């Protein structure tokens, strides 16, 4: 007699709707949904963020993923005061009860009890929701790198050790972070308003990480062996499943600005500078002018991804003077640009997704961190992996950027950076290969998410 089919699995997914958090989480959910078509994935996110992720093709290709719009926490008629992180604080204040309500709605609609809660790590209270609703598994996704995750995990120790210490002190008491300085730490660990909702969220997250059934990140074990091994010893399961742009390549998007066609016309390999600071950050006006002056003065061919509303702030005459040597575009297909052999350097804010994409492309970086984990990432890029350089003084100047461009594109040190990042590129490709560490970790993640009856890839 045939055994009965396993109970239908229902995974509740909670996305953090700000910055570049929701996209990478959805990338993983797409892969999980494809690997386990019998599992229902309810994806909870704000309406505004969901609109950037879901389209008709998504719904058709992944019928087992359903989007639910959650409240953004902004009361009707609310007048914003302009204080930093105001939208985040409003959202997080309402998130606990909002998620409970929406999960209950999804359970009623699907007729399936939730068997796993998968959340952005910022939802530190996910374990409480899982316990109250009788959900056996709570999984956290950290969207940044292992170094910043370690910083938040060790926040209390860092505060104890550095209450009166100078900012230049290395964090040598944390495994794998001997070259990280106190001044590199994200806001909320030692600096900034430690009593804010955002700082409290980060502190609580660090304390709750060991309670999760599993914690997974967009990285690969071979990149940070010491940190990875330490976190494996602290968490129930710590799984590197990236780089996501290799393991789960994003859908191809049209190159409407003709970046790739322009790159094909470049005759010298590794000669082009690609400049992008992500979808959130815009450098101050004086730094925009310094970047423009350095590009014009150096004569380095370039592609600069810059939103149209910022483009108007460029110096008068810059676009005309550099028209034959460069492109300023509102958006660029970043993965494809970084993969092109004409590109020799990536001028970046050092967001984690950009760092991963640069490693996958084998392109050294010029780093100008702004906030959050970006300073940590920049330190790792320059002093640990030695695959890039940080701008002098922490801000762009004409001379400083010209020197960095010359160093990476023309000097022997730049060649060594290129060799090292290409070695990491090879390790990244091996990690997502059939027997790679990230592939094995994804199978473990799939088992935890769907249970023993999960359909494997």
C-alpha distances in Å from residue 340, one per residue of 259, 262, 263, 348, 378: 10, 11, 7, 17, 23
Q: Considering only CA atoms, which of 115, 124, 96 is closest in space to residue 41?
A: 115
What gap in Å lies between CA 153 and CA 240, rounded to an integer?
17
> What tokens were used for 16?
């953090």
Nearest 5°: the CA angle 185, 408, 411 is 135
Q: In what order do the strands lie in the sheet with 302-305?
A: 326-329, 302-305, 272-276, 343-348, 365-367, 388-390
Q: Are strands 272-276 and 238-240 parallel, antiparallel or unpaired?
A: unpaired
DSSP helix/strand/coil, 36: coil
C-alpha torsion angle, residues 415, 416, 418, 420 (rounded to 10):
170
For every residue of 400-414, DSSP letters joined together read: HHHHHHHHHHHSHHH
Q: Are 200 and 222 in contact (CB under 8 A)?
A: no
Q: Considering only CA atoms, which of 432, 387, 405, 403 is closest in space to residue 347?
A: 405
DSSP character at residue 37: T
C-alpha torsion angle, residues 280, 270, 147, 194 (rounded to 10):
-30
Residue 296's φ and ψ, nearest 5 degrees, are -65, -45
> What tokens were used for 277?
């600071």
Active-site residue list: 21, 120
> What tokens were used for 160?
């104890």
Q: In what order do the strands lie in the sheet with 137-142?
A: 65-70, 40-46, 10-14, 116-120, 137-142, 214-217, 238-240
DSSP character at residue 383: I
How many C-beta atoms lie closer than 10 Å to residue 437's C-beta? 19
Q: Are 143 and 21 in contact (CB under 8 A)?
A: yes
DSSP H or E stretch at residue 150? helix 146-153
């Amino acid at each position: 007699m045939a055994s009965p089919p396993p109970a239908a699995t229902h995974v509740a997914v909670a996305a953090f709707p700000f910055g570049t958090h929701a996209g990478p989480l959805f990338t993983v959910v797409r892969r999980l949904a494809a690997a386990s078509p019998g599992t229902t994935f309810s994806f909870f996110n704000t309406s505004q963020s969901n609109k950037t992720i879901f389209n008709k093709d998504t719904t058709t290709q992944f019928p087992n993923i359903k989007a639910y719009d959650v409240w953004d926490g902004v009361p009707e008629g609310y007048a914003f005061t302009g204080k930093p992180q105001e939208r985040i604080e409003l959202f997080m204040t309402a998130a606990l009860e909002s998620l409970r309500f929406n999960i209950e709605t999804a359970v009623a609609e699907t007729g399936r009890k939730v068997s796993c809660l998968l959340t952005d790590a910022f939802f530190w209270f996910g374990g409480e929701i899982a316990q109250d609703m009788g959900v056996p598994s709570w999984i956290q996704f950290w969207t940044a790198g292992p170094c910043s995750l370690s910083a938040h995990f060790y926040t209390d120790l860092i505060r104890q050790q550095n209450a009166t210490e100078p900012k230049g002190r290395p964090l040598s008491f944390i495994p794998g972070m001997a070259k990280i300085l106190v001044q590199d730490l994200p806001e909320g660990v030692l600096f900034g308003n430690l009593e804010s909702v955002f700082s409290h969220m980060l502190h609580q997250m660090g304390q709750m990480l060991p309670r999760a059934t599993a914690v997974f990140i967009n990285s690969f074990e071979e990149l940070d062996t010491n940190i990875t091994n330490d976190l494996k010893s602290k968490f129930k399961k710590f799984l590197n499943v990236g780089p996501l742009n290799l393991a789960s390549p994003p859908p191809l998007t049209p190159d409407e600005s003709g970046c790739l066609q322009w790159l094909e016309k470049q005759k010298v390999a590794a000669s082009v500078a690609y400049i992008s600071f992500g979808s959130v950050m815009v450098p101050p006006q004086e730094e925009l002018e310094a970047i423009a002056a350095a590009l014009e003065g150096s004569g380095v061919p370039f592609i600069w991804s810059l939103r149209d509303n910022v483009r108007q702030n460029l110096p008068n005459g810059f676009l005309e003077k550099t028209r034959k040597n460069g492109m300023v575009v509102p958006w660029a297909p970043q993965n494809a640009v970084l993969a092109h052999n004409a590109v020799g350097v990536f001028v970046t804010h050092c967001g984690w997704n950009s760092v991963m994409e640069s490693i996958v492309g084998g392109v050294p970086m010029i780093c100008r961190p702004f906030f959050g984990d970006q300073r940590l990432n920049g330190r790792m890029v320059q002093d640990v992996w030695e695959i890039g350089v940080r701008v002098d003084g922490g801000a762009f100047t004409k001379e400083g950027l010209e020197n960095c461009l010359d160093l990476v594109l023309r000097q022997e040190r730049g060649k060594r950076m290129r060799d090292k990042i290409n070695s990491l590129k090879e390790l990244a490709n091996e990690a997502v290969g059939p027997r790679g560490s990230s592939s094995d970790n994804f199978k473990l993640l799939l088992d935890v998410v769907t249970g023993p009856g999960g359909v494997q890839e």
